[in-house]
């Protein structure tokens, strides 16, 4: 078992531990779920994907922009983003691009980021599914768990001014309609972004 935080947000991280996992989601149109009396954990909004090898972080930025455009969500509603952050350079690229696309000077609170890598290692193709399940449960329970604490958190990156690494559980307030993002990709190459929101 892991005894320390080995995500890209930890200053001492030089690599990542591999992990294994699988997951599944049951998707249904909200109108149909309400009609059928189903329990709805969260609503999935716009998805954005990108494949760009020409510029560092470009795929992450484009995927986030596309997800935002497809969801029609106010960026100030995004309270937290679950990231891949398997390595420091990936964490840096994700934070910089999320800050660039979702950040603003009039945000009510910084965007909290974290990664399941600290708890389960990097799960490869299953990692995005695990991050999505975490965000859905967080939205349903109105709180974002912090994951393992950082013994020596990596200093904030200059280009990620509206970002904070989550060090404690964040309580969500339903009246503010908070949104959670799931960002997964590499510092160069392919990426996707998805938004999850509490059921109103």
Strand partners, 111: 163
Give me 161's structure tokens: 């001014």
pLDDT number for residue 189? 83
pTM, 2 dp:
0.87
What does the pLDDT look like over 153-167, one tens digit per residue?
565 566 677 888 888
Q: Which of 11-15, 59-63, 177-181 has the lowest mean pLDDT?
A: 11-15
Give the whole-angstrom CA distance, residue 135 versus residue 25.
Answer: 12
Task: Kindly report the number of other CB atoms within 10 A of residue 131's CB atom.
Answer: 26
Burial of 157 (0-12, 13-18, 19+ CB in 10 A): middle
What does the pLDDT look like over 45-71, one tens digit per residue?
999 999 988 888 899 999 999 999 999
């Amino acid at each position: 078992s892991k005894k320390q935080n080995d995500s890209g947000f930890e200053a001492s991280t030089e690599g990542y531990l591999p992990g294994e996992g699988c997951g599944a989601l049951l998707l249904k149109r909200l109108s149909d779920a309400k009609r059928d009396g189903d329990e709805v954990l969260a609503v999935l909004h716009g998805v954005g994907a990108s494949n760009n090898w020409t510029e560092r972080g470009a795929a992450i930025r484009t995927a986030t922009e596309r997800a935002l455009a497809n969801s029609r969500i106010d960026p100030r509603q995004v309270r937290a983003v679950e990231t891949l952050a398997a390595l420091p350079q990936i964490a840096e690229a994700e934070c910089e691009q999320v800050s660039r696309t979702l950040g603003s000077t009039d945000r009510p609170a910084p965007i909290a980021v974290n990664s399941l890598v600290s708890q389960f290692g990097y799960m490869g193709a299953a990692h995005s599914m695990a991050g999505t399940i975490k965000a859905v449960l967080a939205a349903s329970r109105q709180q974002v768990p912090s994951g393992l604490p950082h013994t020596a958190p990596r200093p904030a990156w200059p280009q990620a001014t509206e970002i904070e690494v989550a060090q404690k559980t964040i309580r969500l307030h339903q009246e503010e309609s908070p949104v959670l993002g799931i960002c997964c990709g590499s510092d160069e190459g392919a990426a996707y972004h998805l938004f999850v929101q509490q059921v109103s």
